[in-house]
Amino acid sequence: MSEEQIKNLEEQFEARIARDEKIEPKDWMPEKYRQTHIRQISQHAHSEIVGMLPEGNWITRAPSLRRKVALLAKVQDEAGHGLYLYSACETLDISRDELYEQLHSGKAKYSSIFNYPTVTWADMGAIGWLVDGAAIINQVPLCSTSFGPYARAMVRVCKEESFHQRQGYEIMLKLCNGTPEQKEMAQDALNRWWWPSLMMLGPTDDMSVHTEQSMKWKLKRKTNDELRQQFIDQTVPQADILGLTIPDPDLKWNEERQSYDFGEIDWDEFWQVVKGHGPMNKARMKARVGAWERGEWVRDAAMAHAEKKATSLKKEVS
């Protein structure tokens, strides 16, 4: 194809997206569109998969059967989310094997929030309430993103997320209405998860490199700062109902903006965690890679069994 032909195709392509047409896997697409989507969808899938680890930590120690079945179901949903997203990503001509390889080798990133430890039961409450809450804010606009398989996966994901947040909030509510020690536990969890949850919505707009292109392709519909403001404005009243204090002395209602003003985010901490120096980066990767390696013989055995069955079936037929 000549340069001019490609430019023509690119213009038509951008026009289709601007008209709100969806792009499907076999359609022509600019290489950059393909690469950007592989990166974003796979990062998203990896986050769902690694995101099971901090909560998996508490399944066996849930305080009641009710809490245990709910947490188990939530973690199972996250596995499902990972699988929807991996299969959406594979439609862009990259294999599952390559995607896992990128995660396990550290080449691919996942959400840095999962590199923090879950030290008390209250963390299950804070994660459902805040982390899934921030995830919902990130994900809802993606239900109408331009790449068909990604949009369809996100519709399914978003339907399932609301139970995650509600079960988390209910844990917090129960603790806050409990003994002073239980309430203290809830406050402590909020103190530790608040700032990392704000960071989850991404670097500030002036630091964010991808925003303009991502807006065009509908990978983003609002900027990181807008999403963060939305998250804060809807979460502060929820903390009030719990009777908990947001750990930010600068947090203040701004009558004029009809929004909360908030304090400075420690972006050094964010970049440290992104670069692999968070408290749990190594442990998470070790757990993930270990599980994959320990499962290898099972995958091989299943494949050998399937092949044997297929050949004996062929013999019967002939």
Q: Could you tell me if 154 and 139 are in contact, meaning their C-beta atoms sit under 8 angstroms apart?
A: yes
Is residue 302 a contact point for other proteins (CB under 8 A)?
yes
Residue 164 near which of Fe ion, other proteins, none (CB within 5-8 Å, type-dependent):
Fe ion
Locate tokens 């990896």: which residue?
Answer: 46
Is residue 233 a contact point for other proteins (CB under 8 A)?
no
Given candidates 44, 81, 284, 288, which one binds Fe ion under the rule CB under 5 A? 81
Q: Could you tell me if 41 and 150 are in contact, meaning their C-beta atoms sit under 8 angstroms apart?
A: yes
As a whole number of angstroms, the distance between CA 105 and CA 100 comes to 8
Sequence-distant (≥ 6) Cβ neighbours of residue 42 within 8 angstroms: 85, 86, 89, 94, 99, 102, 103, 108
Residue 132 near which of other proteins, Fe ion, none (CB within 5-8 Å, type-dependent):
Fe ion
* DSSP state at residue 140: G
Given candidates 55, 90, 123, 132, which one binds Fe ion under the rule CB under 5 A? 132
Is residue 150 a contact point for other proteins (CB under 8 A)?
no
Q: Least CB distance from residue 306 to other proteins, whole Å? A: 4
Cβ proximity to Fe ion: between 133 and 203 the closer is 133
Is residue 11 a contact point for other proteins (CB under 8 A)?
no
Phi and psi dihedrals of 128, rounded to 5?
-60, -45
What are the DSSP calls for 207-231, one per residue?
A: T-SSHHHHHHTTS-SS-HHHHHHHH
The piece of 49-57, 168-176, 216-224, 298-306 that touches other proteins (CB under 8 A) is: 298-306
Residue type, 74: K
Q: Least CB distance from residue 91 to other proteins, whole Å? A: 8
Residues in 33-72 at the binding interface with other proteins, rule: CB under 8 A: none
As a whole number of angstroms, the distance between CA 100 and CA 189 comes to 32
Beta bridge partners of 147: 23
Q: Least CB distance from residue 303 to other proteins, whole Å? A: 5
Give the three-state DSSP class for 117.
coil
Which residues of this protein are in contact with Fe ion, per CB under 5 A? Answer: 48, 78, 81, 132, 161, 164
Which residues of this protein are in contact with other proteins, per CB under 8 A? Answer: 24, 26-28, 73, 76-77, 80, 83-84, 87-88, 90, 95-98, 101, 152-153, 160, 299-300, 302-303, 305-307, 309-310
